[in-house]
Amino acid sequence: MDVTIYHNPRCATSRKTLELLRKRGIEPRIVEYLKTPPDAAELKRLVKLLGIAPHALLRKKEAKEAGLDKLTSDDALIAALAKHPIAIERPIVVKGNRAALGRPPEAVTKIL
């Protein structure tokens, strides 16, 4: 089954998560989400797969800088994250109908 990582190569945690996958013999499809941001529909899917509220997907500092920390509606937040992908917590690993946030990187092993 295919594995996808929503990855930021400048992030040490994201790089460690990618390395963990590769050490397990998994070559994931890499989505550099800052270059090709997920749209609102994909973000809704990711939040559902992760089993979290959209606010749990926020990187606090970046969300505050972009003014996203003030949004209360899930739909408004999803739309804003699609426009400001820098505020999306990373990395996200998806396998089939399961997803995990790689914080810490070992957290993704539960879906592999």
3-state secondary structure 11-22: CHHHHHHHHHHH
Give residue for tokens 């990855």.
Answer: 7
CA distance 112 to 99: 9
**DSSP assignment, residue 104?**
S
pLDDT in tens, 68-105: 989 999 999 999 999 999 999 999 999 999 999 999 99
The CA distances from residue 3 to 56, 96, 97, 108, in Å, are 22, 7, 10, 11
Per-residue b/e over 45-63, b at no fewer than 16 CB within 10 Å? ebbebbeeebeebbbeebb
pLDDT in tens, 29-77: 999 999 999 999 999 999 999 999 999 999 999 999 999 989 999 999 9
The active-site residue, picked from 4, 11, 16, 30, is 11
9 pLDDT exceeds 80? Answer: yes
Domains recognised in the chain with CATH numbers: 1-33+90-112 (3.40.30.10), 37-89 (no CATH)
Give residue for tokens 């397990």.
Answer: 24
Q: What pTM did the predictor assign? A: 0.95
Q: Is 11 assigned a catalytic role?
A: yes
